Structure 1
Amino acid sequence: MATVNGTASSQAAYSYLQYKNKIGGLVSGMDIDSIMEKLMKAESSQMEKLQQQKQKYEWKRDAYREVNTSLTTFQQGIFDSYGKQSSWNTKTVANTGSDKVTATATSSAAGKLEITSATLATSGTVQNTLANTYSSTQKLADFGIASTAGKFAFSINGEDKVVEYSKDDTVDSLVSKLNSAGANAQVEKGQLVIRADIKVSDASYSKTFANKLGFSLESDGKLTKDSIGQAVSSQTLVTTEISSSNLKSTSKLSELGLTNGTFKLVGLNETGTDFIEKEITFKETDTVESLLTKINSSGAGVTAVMSGNKISLTSNTAGAGIDGKVMGVTEDNQGVFKKLGFFSNEGSNTGAFATTGAKNGSLTVNGMTIEQSSNTYNVAGYKLEITKAIDAGSSINITSSSDVDKTIDKVKEFIDTYNGLIKDLNTKTSEKRNVDYSPLTDAQKAEMTDAEITKWEEKAKAGLLKGDSNINSALSSMRTALSQYGGKTGDTLASLGITTSKAYTDNGKLEVDEDKLRKALEKDPDAVTRIFTGDTSTGEEGIVSKLRTAAQNAVKNIEVSAGKATSTSEKSYSLGRTISDLTSKIDDWKDRLKDIEERYWKQFSAMETAIQKANSQSSIFAQ
């Protein structure tokens, strides 16, 4: 209800004007405010009836949605808890005590398994191999050269030479010193090339110096020659500022000569039967660590780990792979994995990684050998997880038996869940209406405390869904699904000792005869699974599936009337359309009442003015 300046009070509850010139009745001596309140209250009675109707429909809509919440929770919960065959897997496993195999039994497990040997499947791993590469601006100290005043003694064509160096020299400054000594050294095709017949002197420090630079020495002290005649080369130089031997997790990819780009990584799927290819995008500002994180989260089935400057790639799936291949790279235009040391500098940027350790596992059970990539085997309804290798000639026996007590407890759980739902729904359809408690008007609320309003509305909301056809139809469908199930096959709830209560006041609650249920399970342990989850031999759905369908249909029917909690338009469901129509009528009434109130105020104003004028004229004659 509209109020003056938004204030709810007994004197302003029936005012619809935001601004008006009030006449206090000083001239006439009348209590105009009180008179106006009574007049507008009478004029507002029709609109208040519309507001009360709207409130009832809103309450009914909300009550319907509460029912749908209960039905949705029920149908989802019973399927997850009782609608799958695994839900009724109450079998226990007997193992001869070996800690090398963990065995669980599904509901279909039967018979005895004897395991006589097993080998573990292992994952393939590849580790990068980094050359002792360096940049031309890198200091000699980075190669482990610690001397501040060292000497490199050698001979060129029989002439003795000495080059003095310091750990602070760079590769470039060393080349200059070698050239000054006549060694004809230069960086060529990424290699340090010396075109001279050099023989290192016997001094051990000179040999160590040559080795640290990557040169190999012959027995007579000569540097090893390569195919370029007299040219002798050391390890490859790179044009970046980082030494691969000093690769760190914090190194940026730009330091490896990489720019923004992508590559495609391939690994095995979870079963090891196919490859997964994932494209990974990287930026030059990424670090090696963040690149490895992208590999691990890519879903390619590969895990990258870094320790020091070493990186290992391991397949997430154990086994020998496909045609001996476990993981690799299909596209890598910038040679990311070559720069990280997984491919040689002379080789291709792509291909399968040369992994080690990848092999399938094997299990010999009941005289039959099974080989596969996983260490988990499914045999005759048993799930066997091999945790350690089992030596040939062993004898590990696996058997199973049904746990009748667990099954009974599970059945009782289901009955409690079902009975809880129908009790709630039956309460709503049988709840008595309180005809003496209508929705409160704004004026009535203005004169009550919050506690009084809450208590009143609890009574006013009672019985809104009394006798509701949608809910009664849902209850009837569920009762039918339970009572008629298995009539042709004999797989009925009654055969398990589960029946409907004969008490009329129980409204279809289920009861269980535990003794009968126990005997039925001892005779046929799979009966509960068939009845609740369905019979695979006949294709008939189980009672859980039928109950779920009944609940889902009820939800859909109720949504036609009450919509969803997420509905954005009241026009999309029947109660919403009614509420919308009433809202429009109420708004029209408010506009009409504003005009009526304004007219009354004008009339009272005119009356006060006329009385004042008459009083003035009387005073003139009195003089």
Structure 2
Amino acid sequence: MVQRITGMASGMDIDSLVKAMLTGQQSKVDKLTQKKQTVEWQRQAYLDMNTKINDFRNNKVYNFKLEGTLAASKVGISGNQDAVSAKATGDAVAGNLVVKVKSLATAASMNSSSDVTVDPTKSLASQFSSFGSATTGSIKINGKEVTFDPTKDSLNTVISKINKETNVTAFFDGKKLSLMSKQTGLVNGTGTGDKIVVESGTLATELKLDGTSFKAAANAEVYINDLLTSQQSNSFRINGVDITLKTVSPSTDPARPDNPSVYTASTITISRDTDKIMESIKSFITDYNDMLKTLQDKADESRYRDFAPLTSEQKEAMKEKEIEQWEEKAMSGLLKNDSVLSTLISDMRLAVTSKVDNGSKYNTLSAIGITSSSYYDNGKLNVSDEKKLKKALEEDPQAVLDLFTANGTGKTDRSDMGIAERIYADAQKAMDQIKKKTGYSSILLDETVLGKQMQLLSKQITAGTSRLSDLETRYYKQFSAMEKAIQQYNQQSTSLAGYFS
């Protein structure tokens, strides 16, 4: 290291002189550092936009395409409203279902045939001598074997295993063990049995599970449009309608249980929920407009080129609020007129204005009362005619559904692809392009477009800093040599003056 002499002989401010001489080289390094900071900010701006596009695509557009969003149905029950309840899914078929409940589905159960003397907290082997010195044991219920260690495991432990590993629920009331199927209907044993099957074994014997105390399961029997059906559960789906049986339908002649005409009917009516569908479409339009504005605001954001990232020295001379205000302008407009954002804006506008070949007159948004705003409003959508939209939903709900969500057949012009499907694909394309530019981080020196740019700038900064250090060392050496020369001259001058005096 060069010994730095600060002008003791010459009286000069060497540090200030060296700093001034390095200004040109320091300025080059500062500009490279500022450029790297700008690229880092730009990457972060891309990543922030990518997050917003991803949220729009996967949480807004995708949800809009889900079953039931544009095929929402409503259900009404007339007649006997106590016997059943119903809820429509997105696949519900409009029409009527006449339901008459002959019997409900029940679950099988089995209990100990007599009292059992056992402490459920102590090991099984310590209470049942029949286990002997065995360290393994098992009990098989409905074909599922549950293993345990009788020298360590208690009845409570075995019950916990039964509840986790089999299709029955077990509990001990202090005297008897009770088993009940987790599902109603014929699901026991081989899967079609009406009784819980416990195979013989040491524990089964000790717990008195001999099969003599049981209740058989039964499937529900229900007439649907006077057709007798058997249902394993009291909840099932017919024609896209989830039906739950709550009680047996009243009968005018209990002596004739096999005659559907004697039961009081519950009539389930399924119809299109036009109001709910309209609200979903309005919500989609709001999400679309919000995303369009976000993209446009970022692509049109003002760029202040006179506000470069601040150097360390500049920050030291400024207040915190001044730094914040400066950097706000320095980070503004980094994606101004960006091609990825501009393309997505254009694609979204084209997606909502182009016709969809759905075989109906309702093949454009304008045909169902949705229009684009004026040019000055940057193409936002609005429901300009609610009556027109409601009429389209009532006359041809499938066409409206296809207008938004048709998958298409792969045509290059996407003419048979629904609007939401187009935007869903366009958003993914934009995210893929951003990923190629930025990757997943704003600071990694990776192989993305901006990552490579930062790699190059980092190398240039390192080289520039090295040159700056070499120049500084050289200048201090030169000034050091000058100081030594002056010091020697002064010493010689003093010596000569001594001779003459």
The TM-score by the shorter chain falls in which range? 0.7 to 0.9
Please give the alpha-carbon distance, in whole angstroms, between the structure 2 residues aligned to 1:396 and 1:467.
Answer: 62
**Aligned residue among 209, 214, 217 for 1:358:** 217
Name the counterpart of 1:427. Answer: 297
Please give the alpha-carbon distance, in whole angstroms, between the structure 2 residues aligned to 1:493 and 1:597.
Answer: 69
For 1:320-339, what aligned pairs fall within 5 Å after superposition? 320-321=186-187, 322-324=191-193, 337-338=203-204
Report the 3-state secondary structure (helix = DSSP H, G, I; strand = E; otherwise coil) of the residue aligned with 2:473: helix
Please give the alpha-carbon distance, in whole angstroms, between the structure 1 residues aligned to 2:443 and 2:179.
Answer: 51
Contact 2:113 2:212 in 1 (8 A): no
Contact 1:110 1:381 in 2 (8 A): no
Name the counterpart of 2:264. Answer: 394
Name the counterpart of 2:185. Answer: 319
Shift of 1:353: 11
Q: Which letter maps to 1:600?
A: Y
Shift of 1:319: 0.7
C-alpha distance after superposition, 1:96-138 (max 9, x if no partner): 3623311122353322222233422122223345775xxxxxx
Report the 3-state secondary structure (helix = DSSP H, G, I; strand = E; otherwise coil) of the residue aligned with 1:99: coil
Report the 3-state secondary structure (helix = DSSP H, G, I; strand = E; otherwise coil) of the residue aligned with 2:423: helix
Report the 3-state secondary structure (helix = DSSP H, G, I; strand = E; otherwise coil) of the residue aligned with 1:304: strand
Q: Which letter maps to 2:378?
A: N
Q: Which letter maps to 1:506?
A: D
Contact 2:98 2:265 in 1 (8 A): yes
Cα–Cα, structure 1 residues 448 and 383, in superposed 2: closer, same or farther, change >3 Å?
Answer: same
For 1:363-442, what aligned pairs fall within 5 Å after superposition? 363-392=222-251, 393-442=263-312
Report the 3-state secondary structure (helix = DSSP H, G, I; strand = E; otherwise coil) of the residue aligned with 2:170: strand
Name the counterpart of 1:576. Answer: 451
Name the counterpart of 1:296. Answer: 163
Please give the alpha-carbon distance, in whole angstroms, between the structure 1 residues aligned to 2:400 and 2:477.
Answer: 81
Report the 3-state secondary structure (helix = DSSP H, G, I; strand = E; otherwise coil) of the residue aligned with 2:95: coil
Please give the alpha-carbon distance, in whole angstroms, between the structure 2 residues aligned to 1:353 and 1:574.
Answer: 76
Q: Which letter maps to 1:504?
A: Y
- In the alignment, does 2:468 pair up with 1:593? yes
Please give the alpha-carbon distance, in whole angstroms, between the structure 2 residues aligned to 1:264 and 1:118.
Answer: 37
Please give the alpha-carbon distance, in whole angstroms, between the structure 1 residues aligned to 2:208 and 2:406.
Answer: 54
Please give the alpha-carbon distance, in whole angstroms, between the structure 2 residues aligned to 1:336 and 1:56.
Answer: 76
Contact 1:429 1:472 in 2 (8 A): yes
Shift of 1:488: 5.4
Please give the alpha-carbon distance, in whole angstroms, between the structure 2 residues aligned to 1:265 and 1:604.
Answer: 95
Name the counterpart of 1:507. Answer: 378
Alignment RMSD (CA, Å): 3.5
Please give the alpha-carbon distance, in whole angstroms, between the structure 2 residues aligned to 1:261 and 1:551.
Answer: 59
**Aligned residue among 416, 427, 437 for 1:561:** 437
C-alpha distance after superposition, 1:250-269 (max 9, x if no partner): 224564658776969676xx
Larger proportion of helix = 2
Shift of 1:487: 3.5
- In the alignment, does 2:108 pair up with 1:106? no
Please give the alpha-carbon distance, in whole angstroms, between the structure 1 residues aligned to 2:107 and 2:215.
Answer: 8
Shift of 1:76: 1.0
- In the alignment, does 2:427 pair up with 1:551? yes
Contact 2:356 2:418 in 1 (8 A): no
Cα–Cα, structure 1 residues 21 and 84, in superposed 2: closer, same or farther, change >3 Å?
Answer: same
Please give the alpha-carbon distance, in whole angstroms, between the structure 1 residues aligned to 2:125 and 2:21.
Answer: 84
C-alpha distance after superposition, 1:17-63 (max 9, x if no partner): xx874433333222223223323332212222211221121111111
Name the counterpart of 1:621. Answer: 496
Shift of 1:470: 1.6
Q: Which letter maps to 2:393?
A: L
Please give the alpha-carbon distance, in whole angstroms, between the structure 2 residues aligned to 1:86 and 1:29.
Answer: 87
Please give the alpha-carbon distance, in whole angstroms, between the structure 2 residues aligned to 1:581 and 1:279.
Answer: 64
Q: Which letter maps to 2:364?
A: T
- In the alignment, does 2:28 pair up with 1:35? no
Cα–Cα, structure 1 residues 444 and 260, in superposed 2: closer, same or farther, change >3 Å?
Answer: farther
The percentage of aligned residue pairs carrying the same residue is 34
Please give the alpha-carbon distance, in whole angstroms, between the structure 1 residues aligned to 2:238 and 2:410.
Answer: 24
For 1:184-195, what aligned pairs fall within 5 Å after superposition? none
Count how many residue pairs are aligned between Structure 1 and Structure 2. Answer: 471
Structure 1 unaligned runs (5+)? 1-18, 133-244, 268-274, 345-351
Report the 3-state secondary structure (helix = DSSP H, G, I; strand = E; otherwise coil) of the residue aligned with 1:397: strand
**Aligned residue among 62, 74, 80 for 2:44:** 62
Contact 2:358 2:402 in 1 (8 A): no
Cα–Cα, structure 1 residues 531 and 590, in superposed 2: closer, same or farther, change >3 Å?
Answer: same
Shift of 1:576: 0.8
Contact 1:425 1:471 in 2 (8 A): yes
Cα–Cα, structure 1 residues 395 and 57, in superposed 2: closer, same or farther, change >3 Å?
Answer: same
- In the alignment, does 2:144 pair up with 1:122? no
Shift of 1:446: 2.4
- In the alignment, does 2:313 pair up with 1:454? no
Farther-moved stretch of structure 1 (454-463 vs 109-118): 109-118
Contact 2:138 2:203 in 1 (8 A): no
Please give the alpha-carbon distance, in whole angstroms, between the structure 2 residues aligned to 1:386 and 1:376.
Answer: 6
Name the counterpart of 1:520. Answer: 392
Contact 1:52 1:439 in 2 (8 A): yes
Please give the alpha-carbon distance, in whole angstroms, between the structure 1 residues aligned to 2:495 and 2:26.
Answer: 44
Contact 2:392 2:400 in 1 (8 A): no
Q: Which letter maps to 2:57?
A: Q
Farther-moved stretch of structure 1 (534-543 vs 36-45): 534-543
Q: Which letter maps to 1:564?
A: Y
Q: Which letter maps to 1:360?
A: N
CA radius of gyration, larger in? 1
C-alpha distance after superposition, 1:471-505 (max 9, x if no partner): 2222233333333342352333222212222x223
Please give the alpha-carbon distance, in whole angstroms, between the structure 1 residues aligned to 2:476 and 2:185.
Answer: 92
Shift of 1:579: 0.9
- In the alignment, does 2:388 pair up with 1:529? no
Shift of 1:606: 2.5
Report the 3-state secondary structure (helix = DSSP H, G, I; strand = E; otherwise coil) of the residue aligned with 2:56: helix
- In the alignment, does 2:344 pair up with 1:468? no
C-alpha distance after superposition, 1:301-323 (max 9, x if no partner): 43333332543333222111233
Contact 2:198 2:209 in 1 (8 A): no
Please give the alpha-carbon distance, in whole angstroms, between the structure 1 residues aligned to 2:440 and 2:212.
Answer: 54
For 1:134-173, what aligned pairs fall within 5 Å after superposition? none
Farther-moved stretch of structure 1 (514-523 vs 477-486): 477-486
Please give the alpha-carbon distance, in whole angstroms, between the structure 2 residues aligned to 1:473 and 1:49.
Answer: 32
Contact 1:130 1:340 in 2 (8 A): no
Shift of 1:287: 4.4
Shift of 1:423: 0.8
Shift of 1:601: 2.4
Q: Which letter maps to 2:243?
A: L
